[in-house]
Structure 1
Amino acid sequence: MKEIKNVLIVTREYQCSQTPKIGGTGVFYKNLCSELIKKGISVHVFLVSKFAFEIEEEGVKIHSVKDIFKANPILELVRSFTGKVKALEQFHFKTYLFEKKIISDKINTWIRKNNLHFDIAETHDFDGMALSIPKEIPYVIRCHGSWSVLEKYFGYKKVHKGRIFCEKEAFKISKNIITISRYNEQINKSLFAIKDPELIYNGIDEKFYRPFENRKIIPKSIFYLGNVSFEKGAETVIHAFIQLKKDYPEASLHFIGNPNHYPTYITETIPDPETRNAIYFYGNKSGKEIVKLINQAETVCFPSKGENFSLSLLEVMAMQKAVVCSAIDSFKEIIQEPVNGLIAKEGNFHEKLSLIFEDDDLRNRLSLNARQLIESKFGIDKMVDKTISYYQSIK
């Protein structure tokens, strides 16, 4: 096995001081890079984002270039126009391939200018970013959740055709693939005909996401962690809460994440002021703030209609909380009912939440077993060690 000394991450998302509002992929790569640095591996991040900047944080060197389409108004206009005309579809695809070539040229220039060398590169599956990685660098695609998957399996609308085209082209030429769950592996094999992927579950820092001693629980509180959206099941938990409120007047519902239009939705759809006033929106929060808030929860609900894999679920379980999840395959891969959590169908979330409210022994057992599962299977150290081992096996 070869030695891994220098790693390149090519991504559209990375959590740092210059990019505070990012998705789960950006948080993942921040955590992965931090752990690789701790193991003595040099890490550079080539980031395509809203802004151009160059910084070093926690030992990770980050070089960001501005989004190619946003930086080139004419190219952006051509992309937009050709994407609306069926007869120009092939030209539309070429604008996306041209974008990848520009990114590749920028990576090559940056490497030569700084006299860099990389043993391995990693990128995500969405947008087909693997097409931008210089051919001489061996690389890995990690399947966080492509636009193709979101469109076909999770009901996302108005996905740019050029993005899907590039994703398919990237998988055609890529041999080294990491999937993050068995469900994720199954759907990517079906969609892209990938062969021999390496299954490496995402991991979290169980020392950071931990239960507080002597924490004060808000009685009959339901928390929701993630983007507040239809796809993530916001309306499902709201309707369940309306039913619960009839039996538990002290119940409250707490949303952590971008609220989108849901404060207005609450006002327009819930006539009872007591129910409306028991729903709280905290907005996006830092990791430390999330830990503090979730520690106050009696239960946490994950009603998502589709997930590749949920880091948020692992984080909450690490904080020793009883969870109620929707009956989707990726959740059922983690949750064993009634051992470490509960599984609810669309119409019976209020029933499962009631069980947790009513049965202290059940709630305590679910909570303790949730934490034990994270410690035994989903710690970040295990994920990073498996990742490095996979890097070493690639020629």
Structure 2
Amino acid sequence: MMKTILIFTREYAHPKLSAAGGTGSFYKKYVTALLEKGYKVIVFGDNNVDLNERQDNLHLHFTKKNYFKKHFVQELFRSLGKRLKIASLEAYFLKKEIKNLTQQLQKFLQKEDIYPDVIETHDWEGASLFLDELKTPYVVRAHGCYRILKKYFGYKASLGVEVIETEALKKASHLICVSKNSQRMYEETFGNKGTIITNGVTTTAQNLSETLPFSLFFFGSVTTKKGFDIALNVFKRILQKFPTATLHIVGKNYENYLKENNLGEQKNVINHGHLQGEELKIILQEADTFIFPSQGETFGLALCEAMELGKAVVAADIPSFRDIITHTKDGFIAKKEDEYYEYIVKLFQDDVLNKTIAKNARQTIHTQYNFEKTVENSLLYYQKTINN
């Protein structure tokens, strides 16, 4: 019977560790759920600081990320490979770093006399490359590696990182993909057809607090990749029709975005900045309608959070959002700026439509994108992996 689960990660949400992105936030939430189910959980990785903490069934162990500081000649060649775009040279030294971290994990397990039943890690930076040497079944969860982000969403990635990610993912026998779209991208790119276990959000009791009339919410980082330029253009048109309308930003980078695009103060735009926990939930509950004009996502977690709160959403016509939204039933899919405008105007004008879409959105999340299901399906997959 499975008792001990090890999470091998280079990112984890913890006050003593460096700021975590989506992967680190996911693992924090996931580990909490595993502990509640009575599992023993080990979280091992590297970070900007050393950390060793134990509490009941949880053991966190992070070593200081300083491999290339200790091996500065290797760092010289690695950075040279990156600069000259010699993929094999950069990858050769990146592999040494991953190998070293995996060996540190092995020594840690031996020293602490820990025998995990299964190991889970993320797909980015080739974290799983040498895990087969530990002779413990391992699972890779596709959070969105650099090669995928570069190929499908136009992000930047070094050639060496792409090489080690490709090698790691081609040899990973057990891959979890977070959506149908994610599965398609990973199969096309690495020839590895993963098993779909959708990400989900924690379901909450319905909050019936008052919403702000004619309030449009943008939830995410303020960047062109997240479609903020579209949100702003659409809102300016909305403002002409509804002079009391407000655009609320919940996410980081608004001031930087204004500077980079030579924009002054924007009329009726309220910037809440990056929020977390209860504070985030309280602000999001004020929304009348959400806009998600992102250029690309491996999964729409922020979209799911808005829908779970029982809010009407208008989202971009991208595969990951189409996986979640049934157009005109539990949200709207917009192909161009005119359509964003048209659907938001409809939702602002027709209260019955807004409430119906919002109710259906919440229902979709509770039945299909519930975090409890993510955890349960992951545990079943682990067991299957161990049995194989």
TM-score, length-normalised on structure 1?
0.92
Identity of aligned residues (%): 31
Asked whether the equivalents of residues 96 and 163 of structure 1 are also in contact (C-alpha less than 8 Å), the reply is: yes
Aligned letter for 1:244? I
Aligned letter for 2:126? G
Residue of 10, 13, 16 corresponding to 1:12: 10
Matched residue SS, 1:333? helix
How many angstroms does 1:224 deviate by? 1.4
Asked whether the equivalents of residues 103 and 132 of structure 1 are also in contact (C-alpha less than 8 Å), the reply is: no
What residue in structure 1 maps to residue 186 of structure 2?
188
Aligned letter for 2:80? F
Residue of 355, 365, 370 corresponding to 1:364: 355
What residue in structure 1 maps to residue 377 of structure 2?
386
Matched residue SS, 1:64? strand
How many angstroms does 1:20 deviate by? 6.6
Matched residue SS, 1:83? helix
Distance 1:282 1:21, change over 3 A: farther
Residue of 216, 222, 225 corresponding to 1:222: 216
Cα deviation 1:214-257 (Å, max 9, x = unaligned):
x1212211111112211111111011111111111111111111
Residue of 237, 243, 253 corresponding to 2:247: 253
Cα deviation 1:188-217 (Å, max 9, x = unaligned):
10000004x21111122102xx5423x121
Matched residue SS, 2:83? coil
What residue in structure 2 maps to residue 128 of structure 1?
126
Looking at structure 1, the residues matched to 110 and 259 of structure 2 have their Cα atoms a distance apart, in angstroms, of 52
How many angstroms does 1:70 deviate by? 6.0
Looking at structure 2, the residues matched to 110 and 58 of structure 1 have their Cα atoms a distance apart, in angstroms, of 18
Aligned letter for 1:65? T
How many angstroms does 1:89 deviate by? 3.4
What residue in structure 1 maps to residue 263 of structure 2?
269
Matched residue SS, 1:223? strand
Greater shift in the superposed pair: 315-324 or 47-56: 47-56
Cα deviation 1:36-77 (Å, max 9, x = unaligned):
111111111112222221224685321112224564471433
Looking at structure 1, the residues matched to 5 and 300 of structure 2 have their Cα atoms a distance apart, in angstroms, of 25
User: Is structure 2 residue 177 aligned with structure 1 residue 179?
Assistant: yes
What residue in structure 1 maps to residue 112 of structure 2?
114
What residue in structure 2 maps to residue 294 of structure 1?
284
Q: Write out aligned runs for 1:191-202 (5 A).
A: 191-195=189-193, 197-202=194-199
What residue in structure 2 maps to residue 351 of structure 1?
342
Asked whether the equivalents of residues 18 and 48 of structure 2 are also in contact (C-alpha less than 8 Å), the reply is: no
What residue in structure 2 maps to residue 312 of structure 1?
302
How many angstroms does 1:342 deviate by? 0.7
What residue in structure 2 maps to residue 142 of structure 1?
141
Matched residue SS, 1:324? strand
TM-score, length-normalised on structure 2?
0.94
Q: Write out aligned runs for 1:22-41 (5 A).
A: 22-41=20-39
**Which stretches in structure 1 are left out of the alignment for 5+ residues?**
none
Greater shift in the superposed pair: 57-66 or 29-38: 57-66
Cα deviation 1:340-388 (Å, max 9, x = unaligned):
1111123222222111111111100011111111111111221111111
Looking at structure 2, the residues matched to 302 and 4 of structure 1 have their Cα atoms a distance apart, in angstroms, of 40
Matched residue SS, 2:129? helix
Asked whether the equivalents of residues 217 and 296 of structure 1 are also in contact (C-alpha less than 8 Å), the reply is: yes
Looking at structure 2, the residues matched to 265 and 222 of structure 1 have their Cα atoms a distance apart, in angstroms, of 23
Greater shift in the superposed pair: 40-49 or 129-138: 129-138
Asked whether the equivalents of residues 88 and 163 of structure 2 are also in contact (C-alpha less than 8 Å), the reply is: no
Greater shift in the superposed pair: 132-141 or 242-251: 132-141
Matched residue SS, 2:272? strand
Asked whether the equivalents of residues 68 and 103 of structure 1 are also in contact (C-alpha less than 8 Å), the reply is: no
What residue in structure 1 maps to residue 202 of structure 2?
205
Greater shift in the superposed pair: 289-298 or 223-232: 223-232
Distance 1:99 1:367, change over 3 A: same
Residue of 365, 369, 376 corresponding to 2:367: 376
Looking at structure 1, the residues matched to 56 and 211 of structure 2 have their Cα atoms a distance apart, in angstroms, of 34
Aligned letter for 2:88? Q
Aligned letter for 2:175? I
Q: Write out aligned runs for 1:147-158 (5 A).
A: 147-157=146-156
Looking at structure 1, the residues matched to 351 and 197 of structure 2 have their Cα atoms a distance apart, in angstroms, of 35
Distance 1:139 1:111, change over 3 A: same
Distance 1:193 1:308, change over 3 A: same
Looking at structure 1, the residues matched to 353 and 224 of structure 2 have their Cα atoms a distance apart, in angstroms, of 29
Matched residue SS, 2:230? helix
What residue in structure 2 maps to residue 102 of structure 1?
100
Asked whether the equivalents of residues 106 and 134 of structure 2 are also in contact (C-alpha less than 8 Å), the reply is: no
Distance 1:345 1:72, change over 3 A: farther
Greater shift in the superposed pair: 339-348 or 174-183: 339-348
